[in-house]
A and B are shown apart, each in its own frame.
Chain A
Amino acid sequence: MPRLVSHPDEVKIVTSRFGKGAAKIDTYLELGGYASARKALAEGAEWIINEMKASGLRGRGGAGFPTGMKWSFVPKQSAKPKYVLVNGDESEPGTCKDHLIFLHDPHAVIEGTIIAGLAIGAKMGFIYLRGEYRYLIQIVERAVAEAYERGFLGKSIFGSETEFEVIVQTGAGAYEVGEESALMESLEGKRGVPRIKPPFPAVVGLYGGPTVINNAETIATVPHALAMGGAAYAAVGSERNGGTRLFGLSGHIERPGVYELPMGYSLRKMIYEVGGGVRGGRKLKAVVPGGSSTPVLLPEEIDIGMDFDQVGKAGSMLGSGGVVVIDDQTCMVEFALRTIKFYQHESCGWCIPCREGTDWLKKSLTRFHAGFGTEKDIDNIQYIAENMMGRTFCPLGDAAAMPTLGFVKKFRKEFEEHLHGKPCPYAHHPEVELV
């Protein structure tokens, strides 16, 4: 069972029921569960969307799109059925927050799904979890069965005239399926390759119907934001970044774990106070602030508030909130190689710049790290990455290129130290396998 952590600076909203047995519906109800769904049902779609707009909640998957606005884009009238699709295909390296949500508070995801359905006028919602999360899928399926037994799901939810069904879906191993259009393809029983946009899912989504796709953390936040009131939830966070975020501290950190902190919380404090500093009292070398696809930050760049806008201004992204801390004994070329090896493995192959680019980057970095790099390689790595940016259907190409550019630009000296037949100065795992 993954360890839960705690820190006095935390503001426990989404995590407020963690460790309290809320996966059981009776406990969830005792802790105030399903009150927001009942209220949403009574108040109606316009109220829900207005409250969500007031909450300042932005997509927790990584893009940070305002949730209320996303829901408002779904057309009121539609010839085809509308759907809610919850993205629990959590696969971004450094990210394990949804893991805890499904484990400790699955009913919050179900309740949020119902509310999203009420907001857009959908009668069916899907909760898609990555296949590796089998034990969590079983927990969510049990919770869904409980909600059906109580009449919170089904033909007449909470005794009303409104119908809402929820289906829990398993993936089978694919990072790319976390991209929203690939997620829809996968749910339709196809290879998880992206669709071209427009049309956007809000207009043409699952089975051709208007679809709202939200990250599991976003959806689990919705009942809390409504319970607090949109404005009160927004006030917890920073400007234009409502509420809290589940930050996952991992890597060379003294106290790794998932911490719920207000949006805009200082990255320096997150590392040195909440996380207890770099493991073993070592020096900080770098931080990946929001999952493996976000460009690396240097120790002198961590005096920023962790929200979408401030991290963006610092030249990186808040992403999935997975903060990976790297100490001074780490080889950044090896780190860059391991990062690109992942993207090369996960590229679905649909778009050539991504398929070929990730492969060339992996080959170049593997050779480079083994000590067979040339001066020209460094510029070539940068050139390949720059030419992948913005040239693919989905953001996976960017997700591979952005961190690579960051590593080369910020750690060029370390790349140069690997040149001319020199072995890796850190000699950690010099023969990272070519799989």
Chain B
Amino acid sequence: MSAEAMTLFSPELAARLDALVERYPARRSALIPMLLYAQDEVGYLSDAVIDEVARRIGITPLDVRNVATYYSMLRFQPAGKFNVQVCTNISCMLRGGYKIFDRFQERLGIGHKGVTADGLFSLEEVECIGACCWAPAIQVNYDFHDELTEEQVDAILAQYRSQNAGGR
């Protein structure tokens, strides 16, 4: 293993990925979970991450890219530390999803797929996240926030700012 690969992932992630490739009838089945878990830790699918995942599965980096570009959660540039994903699909739209999205745009000063200058937040308009009965809903990283109003937007941003200040 290269020195770069040794430091690319934490020992915990490396161990997790080692276990992943062994559990399926075919190693390749580990590809999508591996990419997502690596992204969770590294922040995005850098060239080094793609090369390392390809090596672990035993396929070419090009093959990995071909698959990775299909999935909307996988990204090739860093997002903000807190990625705000606002659903504007029908059930959320009917209950003010676009107003929520507009408020986040205004407060963060960025648009769809934008990242704030301090790297703390990024914003995405996303498709249905499976919270239709608790609309409008957003996800910040993997956390759901349901039944939102525009007025709650500031409180949500403040919550993550203080989480960041607390070093958690």
Instruction: Using CB atoms and an 8 Å cutoff, list the residues of chain A in contact with chain B.
Output: 2-3, 81, 90-96, 98-99, 124, 130-135, 167, 169-175, 186-192, 207, 248-252, 256-258, 288, 292, 322, 324, 326-327, 330, 335, 338-339, 342, 345-346, 348, 428-429, 432-433, 435
Chain A residues whose CB sits within 8 angstroms of the CB of B31 once the complex forms: 189
Contact A172-B74, Cβ < 8 Å, known A130-B130, A338-B90, A345-B127: yes
Chain B residues whose CB sits within 8 angstroms of the CB of A326 once the complex forms: 94
**CB <8 Å contact, B93 and A172:** no
In the complex, the number of residue pairs spanning A and B with C-beta atoms less than 8 Å apart equals 154
Contact A251-B32, Cβ < 8 Å, known A93-B128, A96-B134, A174-B72: no
Sorted nearest first, the 9 A-B pairs with minimum C-beta distance are A173-B73, A189-B31, A173-B72, A189-B28, A172-B71, A250-B91, A134-B142, A191-B70, A93-B128
B33 at the interface (CB under 8 A from A): yes
Chain B, 123-161, contact with A by CB distance < 8 Å: what is the 0/1 string? 001011111111100010011101100000000000000
Chain A residues whose CB sits within 8 angstroms of the CB of B35 once the complex forms: 172
**CB <8 Å contact, B129 and A189:** no
- B interface residues, how many (CB within 8 angstroms): 45
> Contact check: which of B25, B66, B91, B112 meets A93 at CB < 8 Å?
B91
Chain A residue at minimal CB-CB distance from B29: A189
**Complex Cα gap A342–B146 (Å):** 21
**CB <8 Å contact, A92 and B133:** no
**CB <8 Å contact, B98 and A188:** no
**CB <8 Å contact, A132 and B130:** yes
**CB <8 Å contact, A189 and B30:** yes
Chain A residues whose CB sits within 8 angstroms of the CB of B143 once the complex forms: 135
Chain A residues whose CB sits within 8 angstroms of the CB of B98 once the complex forms: 428-429, 432
Chain A residues whose CB sits within 8 angstroms of the CB of B73 once the complex forms: 131-132, 172-173
**CB <8 Å contact, B130 and A90:** yes
B67 at the interface (CB under 8 A from A): yes
B88 at the interface (CB under 8 A from A): yes
Chain B residue at minimal CB-CB distance from A131: B73
Chain B residues whose CB sits within 8 angstroms of the CB of A348 once the complex forms: 70
